[in-house]
Structure 1
């Protein structure tokens, strides 16, 4: 093995980064790779439409709900320990999914897979934040963000290839060698770290209130379009989420060791980063979801062909993420985030003029601008959040940021679906006044999922017109949200790395120089 590839004190942090990127690749790949396998899974397991939806939703729900819990447990019991536990759970559940003989088995183990991801995701960012000093943190997080984008980019393409040429089970078995590599490298390279000031106790009351409150909220967002936003179930879940999350804030104010330290949000930088995380995910995931429906159901592309057409956007994110991370170390995250959100808004306004026969070349420019915008936002946003808190609190801070992203994305898809249904209904009433109300309602019910656009004849033409009319308005509204986020980022996020981060970095360098120890071995609150 060449000397530069050997694990040494000088390059240990880069090996650690590699292990975290392996794990992140696995998590993000499972966000997209499953979608293209759903028709084959439905055929093999004789799944209902509801069962297919929960194949995706069970993972999303458990992942989003437990992110803050996973981050906090890492702060208490050790981030490396929680990370490795999450990798093992994720890999084990992936193997069990591959042997699924029923939809219930599949959905149950997808929920367990989300549990493993919720322990891994915040740990990756907090371990990186502890392994790298502040002046290198942007570069490391930029690489981390680039790997995330790479996984999202190749997910539909790789999934389509494996499903067509191997089997749908192979997309889950692929996780096993990746997990094994992450475990081996982590054991040899990553130091253990935790919040040494935190008592070794779990806030069970806070954990219960947060988990049930988020479950109610996210379940309402996932099912709101199919149940109806005014239905008793949806309203009841939303009301329950408000009550439970209010209880959570009261509990956290009184316990000695809270799950979430709300004093974090007194930092404008941390508050701004979480608002940006919510808004960029709100705009981005809704766009990906409904543009994928447009490309397949209106333009007639296969899932693999649609996935390939997103590649220019995601390839730019892959390259822009690390560059933005390095720039954040030099100029601070604020100008990059603000410019990135503005470019994202420009792209969404550009996309908001779709027609049945819009050529892909017209979308290509908008996709490339959006790739540049998202690439400028993601890693500086994470850098801003992690630099705004003490490194000993990195786990729960990372979990909170990840939760903001997940909830923002869920809100975005739900809001876009509701908007498409509402505007689509109005458009269909205008286009098909002769059609019975019950028939129009059935078409509208499918618009939020793009299903009604495949109906043949004049009714199908009207459904496609209504879908595009509503989607274009939705894209422009998402663009306005992104531009609003650009202004908020400029107001809230510090222009430069905070002074306490520079001071911590200098102190670490001086201490390391005095002891003759490489800086990579002087993370905060670290055990050998």
Structure 2
């Protein structure tokens, strides 16, 4: 028997629902930042090199990036409660597997499972919230609370990672997910109402498979190229296979009636420019964040606990400024706010590229803060710009694509900036010199993108056959999705 698309409960039940969905998203976002604090301890205890650390991060982000859109469709088609709880269960079990992993290979396998769980849990959490709040004004308030409360995971992650790793070792950063996951499942089973969209499109299995394989083999080539040699047959083969698989993905998507990624959306300049910039945001933010804790531990000699605290200005800058980014975009326009944000982030990364072992923390923390503030000014407006470029019915899809492009950028950032560091070390330079070059490269690319958005991030015509894009003053158009089918962590 089909369940109605919207299940609306009483106000107390909505409060419980908000708490449950925020708990799940909090767990996902916590995992994004808590792992970075533990990377030095993982390297020591697992006897791995930089390549191994890259896989620990990218194995998770890759699966989230490639399955996020499908996760939203799954939730709409098969039941948002069912998919949300299934994602939470997979994420919790995967966290236990990570904590008990006896080797790097088992840890990477656990991270893959975590990514699958997060790709189901994250979009389903927002889908449940939107289904319970059919009135747009109430929905926007609920989404704002969801973003703010769950976003605390970003700020808590570095500190929690430093404390837990320093006291108990790196497995503790995954064990902390177990009580959260158990509470989520117990309360969710009893309190959440099921809802689904009977008219949701079918799952794009070929598109999903080709995207995972294509980006996966390219990531393999980028990460392993530094260790195996860029001209090694397996590396050249992986690049060739990646190009072929992604070309096949484009060909398949162009022919499907209900593709995972509608290529027609990229005919709109606003949509294309905003998503291109979002790739760079993910690239520079995640790629540089991957090295922050390692910089403080290996270059400046900090303890893991202290390093976790030292990276906090970045997260705090993002958490504090993010709620205001949409309002600023509504007042001054997407182009101004995004360009200023990218310029700030780029300058902050360039400033980090000049930090050395003897640089006092008083001259470091503000650079991290500038990077955090800059990127906080970009993400919500870029998502809003993507939503404005499409019809109102495709707002959720546009939001999901925006989150996906950011995650793809994150995968590439960890891989490519890691390759920069390895290349410098292979040439006889120190780890510190490699990090400086990585930060400088990320800053230069971010500044170049600021110029790009300053020139090209402007309103485009509506997609053919669709409604007029939303006004910039529409709260949905400045960063919060109006559909709950797809949204990333």
TM over 0.5: yes
* Cross-structure match for 2:160: 158
Q: Distance in 1 between matches of 2:11 and 2:381?
A: 25
Correspondence 1:207 to 2:208: yes
Q: Report the secondary structure of 2:281's partner residue.
A: helix
Contact kept, 8 Å, 2:283 with 2:412, in 1: the verdict is yes
Aligned equivalent of 1:242 = 243
Q: Which residue of the other structure, out of 440, 443, 455, is the alignment partner of 1:479?
A: 443
SS of 2:295 mapped into structure 1: helix
Q: How does 1:328-367 map to 2 (within 5 A)?
A: 328-329=329-330, 331-367=332-368
1:479 Cα deviation from its structure 2 partner: 2.3
Matched, 1:492 2:460: no
Distance in 2 between residues matched to 1:308 and 1:494, nearest whole Å? 41
| Number of positions where the alignment pairs a residue of Structure 1 with one of Structure 2 | 464
CA deviations over 1:297-323 (Å, ceiling 9, x no partner): 221112221221111221121111112
Partner of residue 479, structure 2: none
Distance 1:391 1:234, change over 3 A: farther
Matched, 1:411 2:412: yes
Per-residue CA deviations over 1:103-142 (Å, capped at 9, x if unaligned) read: 5544323221111112223444555667587778877666
Task: Measure how far apart 1:366 and its partner are.
Answer: 1.8
- 1:192 is aligned to 195
Is the Cα contact below 8 Å between 1:153 and 1:315 reproduced in 2? yes
Question: How big is the shift at 1:169?
Answer: 4.0
Alignment partner of 1:274: what SS? helix
Equivalent of 2:174, from 152, 157, 172?
A: 172
* Structure 1 stretch displaced more, 209-218 or 17-26: 17-26
Shift in Å, 1:396 = 4.5
- Aligned-pair distance for 1:246? 0.7
Deviation at 1:181, TM superposition (A): 4.8
Q: What CA distance in whole angstroms lies between the structure 2 residues aligned with 1:346 and 1:132? A: 42
1:473/1:111 CA distance change after superposition, 3 Å: closer
Question: Quick one: distance in 1 between partners of 2:380 and 2:484?
Answer: 22
Alpha-carbon distance, 1:219 to partner: 2.0
Could you tell which deviates more after superposition, 95-104 or 260-269? 95-104
Rounded Cα–Cα distance in structure 2 between residues aligned with 1:103 and 1:293: 18
Task: Give the 5 Å matches for 1:419-430.
Answer: 419-422=420-423, 424=424
User: Whole-Å Cα distance in 1 between the matches of residues 143 and 240 of structure 2?
Assistant: 37
Q: Which secondary structure does the structure 2 equivalent of 1:70 belong to?
A: helix
1:258 is paired with a residue whose SS is: coil
Inter-CA distance 246–127: structure 2 relative to 1 (3 Å threshold): farther
| Aligned CA distance change for structure 1 residues 136 and 493 (closer, same or farther; 3 Å) | farther
Identify unmatched segments of 5+ residues in structure 2: 1-7, 476-481
Residues 346 and 445 of structure 2 are in contact (CA less than 8 Å); yes or no, is this contact kept in structure 1? yes
Distance, in Å, in 2 between the alignment partners of 1:78 and 1:267 is 32
Q: 1:380 to 1:523 in 2, by over 3 A?
A: closer
User: Over the residues paired in the alignment, what is the CA RMSD in angstroms?
Assistant: 3.9
Distance 1:51 1:36 in 2: 15
Query: SS of the counterpart of 2:364?
Result: helix
Q: Which residue of 2 aligns with 1:280?
A: 281
2-structure distance, mates of 1:492, 1:247: 29
Q: In the aligned structure 2, how far is the partner of 1:217 from the partner of 1:257?
A: 26
CA separation of 1:240/1:359 partners in 2, compared to 1, >3 Å: closer, same or farther?
same
Change (3 A) 1:291 1:161: closer
Kept in 1, the 8 Å contact 2:54–2:414? The answer is: no
CA distance in 2, matches of 1:400, 1:523: 13
Three-state SS of the structure 2 residue aligned to 1:33 is helix
Alignment of 1:32-111 (within 5 A): 32-37=33-38, 49=49, 54-100=55-101, 103-111=104-112
The question of whether the paired residues in 1 share the 8 Å contact of 2:221 and 2:238 is answered with yes
What per-residue deviation string (whole Å, max 9, x for no partner) do you get for residues 247-306 of structure 1?
A: 111111222222221122233333233112111122222222234333222211122212
Q: Summarize the Cα distance change of 1:256–1:182 in structure 2 as closer, same or farther, 3 Å threshold.
A: same
CA distance in 2, matches of 1:20, 1:371: 25
Cα distance per residue 1:362-408 (max 9 Å; x no partner): 12222222222122122222333345445654554444323211221
